[in-house]
Chain A
Amino acid sequence: GENVEQHPSTLSVQEGDSAVIKCTYSDSASNYFPWYKQELGKRPQLIIDIRSNVGEKKDQRIAVTLNKTAKHFSLHITETQPEDSAVYFCAARWVGFSGGGADGLTFGKGTHLIIQP
């Protein structure tokens, strides 16, 4: 099955600086790579995603890059703000062989992003 590795586990940056979180995946058939943000005690929420036919996608201060050859993708947050402090999860889509509808996401272990004032 799909395996997703995420680094670093904790990242502390000064407010205003940039943060980069990196993930690798194992299944070359994966075609969808979302990033979720989870605040303490809350549900994970999608912040940005990228599909395998695209190399980069940007949404204001957030960008994601994908290198399919190397099977890795990264989240970039620029001009970090206190409200960016949270746990970020990368994920890769898997599609099963058990029949119609077997489809889901494998998540990395998460990165705790700390924005220092």
Chain B
Amino acid sequence: DSGVTQTPKHLITATGQRVTLRCSPRSGDLSVYWYQQSLDQGLQFLIQYYNGEERAKGNILERFSAQQFPDLHSELNLSSLELGDSALYFCASSQRAGAVTGELFFGEGSRLTVL
């Protein structure tokens, strides 16, 4: 158990719809990262939040957005869904205050299927 919690574990929806994925980081971690993993693909970095503020952006589509709340949990919003958005979405956390090691701790992922 990494200490990172993601919900929901599975989600099936239709094209054009909007979904929200939720992540609770490890206790004490200030950073939350979102990664997308499509079938047989690597881990594509989407976005990073640190202590409530956006810090870095990767290959995140304009249809996607995220935020980190004061309690440090994060949500990834995916809108106008397309078939190609079907993937496993991972949240990871790191950077406990005063202990910046670089290691990321991954949640179990949210598997999104767009029909």
Contact = CB atoms under 8 A, between A and B. Distances in A.
Nearest to A105: B104
A42 B48 contact: no
B59 to A, nearest CB: 11
Interface in B25-66: 30-31, 33, 41-43, 45, 48, 50-51, 53, 55-56
A99 B103 contact: no
B75 interface: no
A96 B103 contact: no
Chain A, interface residues (CB within 8 Å), range: 20 to 34
Nearest to B31: A101
Contact of A102 (B45, B55, B101, B107): B55
Contacts of B106: 43-45
B51 A101 contact: yes
Contacts of A81: none
Given A44-B43, A96-B56, A104 B51 contact: no
A117 interface: no
Contacts of A109: 41-42
17 contacts: A31-B102, A34-B102, A34-B103, A42-B108, A43-B2, A43-B90, A43-B108, A44-B90, A44-B106, A93-B102, A98-B56, A101-B51, A101-B53, A103-B31, A104-B33, A105-B104, A108-B42
